[in-house]
Copies of this chain bind each other. A is one copy, B any other.
Amino acid sequence: MRKPGYHHGDLESALLQGAVDRVRLVGAEKVSLRAIAGDLGVSPSAAYHHFPDKDALLTAAGFAAIDKLADQQELALSMISVIGVDGALARFRALGRSYVDFALNEPHLFRLAFGEHCVIPDAIDSEAPTRAWTILTAALDELVNEGLLKFEFRQKSEILVWSAVHGVATLILEGKLPPEAADDLFDSLAHMLGLDHE
Contacts and interface: CB of A to CB of B under 8 A. Distances in A.
Given A163-B171, A164-B163, A170-B170, A188 B157 contact: yes
Interface of A is mostly: helix
5 tightest A-B CB contacts, nearest first: A167-B167, A163-B167, A163-B168, A192-B192, A166-B167
A79 interface: no
A58 to B, nearest CB: 10
A132 to B, nearest CB: 9
Nearest to A130: B176
A2 interface: no
Interface stretch (A9-17, A44-52, A67-75, A177-185): A177-185
Interface stretch (A32-40, A82-90, A118-126): A118-126
Interface of A: 27, 29, 107, 111, 114-116, 118-121, 123-125, 130, 156-157, 159-160, 162-168, 170-171, 174-178, 181, 184-185, 187-189, 191-193
Q: How many copies does the complex hold?
A: 2
B162 A167 contact: yes
B114 A177 contact: no
Nearest to A122: B175
Contacts of A191: 156
Contacts of A162: 167, 171, 177
Contact of A174 (B115, B160, B164, B165): B115
